[in-house]
Amino acid sequence: MITTGIHGVRNAVSVGVLGTGSYVPSHVVSNDEVGAPAGVDHEWIFGKTGIRNRRWAKPDEATSDLAVIAGRAALESAGIRAAQLSLIVVATSTPDQPQPPTASVVAAELGADHGTAAFDVNGVCTGFLFALTTAQSMLAATAAGGYALVIGADVYSRILNPEDRRTTILFGDGAGAVVIGPSTGEDRGVLANRLASHASDRHLIEVPGGGSRIPATAETLAEGLQYFTMNGRGVRDFVTAHVPPAIREFLAEHDLTPADLAHFVPHQANGRMLESLSAELGVDADRTWTTYEEFGNTGAASVPITLDRAARSGRLNAGDLVLLAGFGGGMALGLSLIRW
């Protein structure tokens, strides 16, 4: 477990969120469309998940294409040029290709300077929190400060088995981004982070084939080992057992409770799961931001997409406490506490 911030590693430079951006593909996929191959309909999907639609990338759209658009929006929001960036970090588990990093493609498309370091982070659905913590810690440890573009982007539609109702109904494609840099006040910005992995539960979410252990072959493709798989009941049990206690403990370390939060931005795993999570924490619907109903679960993009929607609503006010919470494959958990 890694914890940084208020009662953890002291930041040499205070780093805050300076701008946000997001992008979802234009192609809307309804419950009836996605449910037909899996043998379920809109009523079944909505009842189980709260999802009505999701967006899927067009055949000519890759993860980097979505990430570039979200990144541009975040840079514009922050008033920062790509050439000013010290870091570009892309969180994804669906990269354009195994090599080079998707972040390198994004850097080139955005016109980032040759001095900008660009790399990927694979923390599955928690990836954005891992990327944000990494970038924020690197900037905070540098006396000169600097700016970083942190993007969560995934195109899960390419790795879903259309006949598997446990997975294909849940996921959408998208990208969300933030620009972070020197904050405007000593008590503002990213106050604390926590990252943890429960590696013994890693089997709950996986793509078995296509890596060095099971390289892609005609046989593995015929077996469907290239598809995303998930033990839904096991994931729900993991979230119920680990996420609420971790959030309470994280906040308590900083003399806070869920009641002190002005905004809660969780990973959009499943609407019914989020309803239970918010109720368990005592964070009402007015403070819990969601996008799952129209976009589904967008993997590493779900937290930054939802944060961008919150930021652009005009309801995030200076000084508000915002908690970002990611959880998913690994099995991993990530938390970031921000003073807006």
The HSE-up count of residue 208 (CA atoms within 13 Å, CB side) is 11
Tell me, yes or no, if 161 is annotated catalytic. no
Is 8's pLDDT higher than 70? no
Q: pLDDT tens digit string along 116-148?
A: 999 999 999 999 999 999 999 999 887 667 999
pTM of the shown model: 0.94
Find all residues with CB under 8 Å of 242, minimum gap 6, and list them: 198, 327, 331, 333
Q: Which of 31, 193, 270, 297 is catalytic?
A: 297
pLDDT digits over 192-220, tens only? Answer: 999 999 999 999 899 999 999 999 999 99
The active-site residue, picked from 11, 31, 193, 267, is: 267
DSSP secondary structure of 34-96: HHTTTT--HHHHHHHH---EEE---TT--HHHHHHHHHHHHHHHHT--GGGEEEEEEE-SS-S
pLDDT for 5 equals 60
Give the CATH number of the domain where residue 323 resides: 3.40.47.10
pLDDT tens across 14-29, in order? 899 999 999 999 999 9
Higher pLDDT, 9 or 336: 336
Which one of 125, 193, 263, 270 is the catalytic residue?
Answer: 125
pLDDT of residue 142: 78
- Region 138-166 average pLDDT: 91
pLDDT-above-70 percentage for the chain:
94
Domain carrying residue 23 = 1-340
Based on the structure, what is the number of domains in the chain?
Answer: 1
193 assigned to active site: no
Residue whose C-alpha is closest to residue 108's, from 67, 143, 74: 67
Residue 125 falls in the annotated catalytic set: yes
pLDDT at 9: 41
